[in-house]
Structure 1
């Protein structure tokens, strides 16, 4: 990939223009790109949604990584704000978990949030497995009753 910076500044140095002035112009060019990058990173961070696929720890770390990139671009988000952004991005089946957090007096650090989210995700998975097992068990019992009744009437 060719860098277009030289083309952008080709012919922009006139006789008598100082190198300092030229470097200031280059700096402004990159500052504009930092604004675009900041906007893109922020848009990605606030639009992220956890879909329940993959590892929730990795998902939260990805959000934290975006916040770190924003910090390097001089847009620092507080840890409290990041915790709330993560909570907002969780799906509806984390609703009870969110209510539980919001009713507590204590605020969680990002590491505490990760710990609790991993626990909650494991609990939700266990509940789904138990629910699926109960459903299949009750369907098998219905089939046996229906089959037994049909055999008894013939």
Structure 2
């Protein structure tokens, strides 16, 4: 080897080692999962199929650059699909329709996430409207939990008006908080009249 000449070494990188840094997709974490998948595929230089649409099929007239690009895109697509499949929970993986396109697979995973979001929003709303203070924790913890549920609903696209949240909290209190409930309603009525 001549002094000063550059040598390019191809270091094999384990796809599996990169998947371990990606949170397992569980239908409730699409944003984090997608961000990590795109980052890792970018680091591995395998994100071509997610960035560029599939090239036209090769013909007898295809030049060397077109053949090279086609080969790179096919490799990116194949390995991207494998990478994404390795980062899905097993019970979810079986529900994703088969596709040969990494970009389409990402879209199908996102759709599964949105279905889960709607289901979760319904569950959270049901919890918020039926939750009762049972004295097993402090009032502050109870109110904080209800506020956190409302904040979670907001991230899912369902905004709970502050007045409704206060009413849900008051309705969650047991009968011994009746005087507090009456005082709140009196104050609220007085404020509405002004």
Matched, 1:96 2:183: no
Matched, 1:74 2:157: yes
Residue among 15, 34, 46 paired with 2:117? 34
Q: Please, what is the CA RMSD of the aligned residues?
A: 2.1
Displacement of 1:36: 1.2
SS at match of 1:106: helix
Q: Is the 8 A contact 1:52 1:91 kept in 2?
A: no
Deviations 1:17-37 (A, max 9, x none): x44333222211111111111
Q: Which has the higher helix share?
A: 1
> What corresponds to 2:93 in structure 1?
6
> What corresponds to 2:191 in structure 1?
106
Residue among 130, 143, 153 paired with 1:47? 130
Residue among 144, 167, 185 paired with 1:84? 167
Q: Gaps (5+ residues) in structure 1? A: 108-154
| Mapped partners of 1:31, 1:46: distance in 2 | 23
| Mapped partners of 1:54, 1:101: distance in 2 | 22
Q: Gaps (5+ residues) in structure 2? A: 1-23, 25-87
Q: TM-score, length-normalised on structure 2?
A: 0.48
Displacement of 1:3: 0.9
| Mapped partners of 2:123, 2:96: distance in 1 | 25
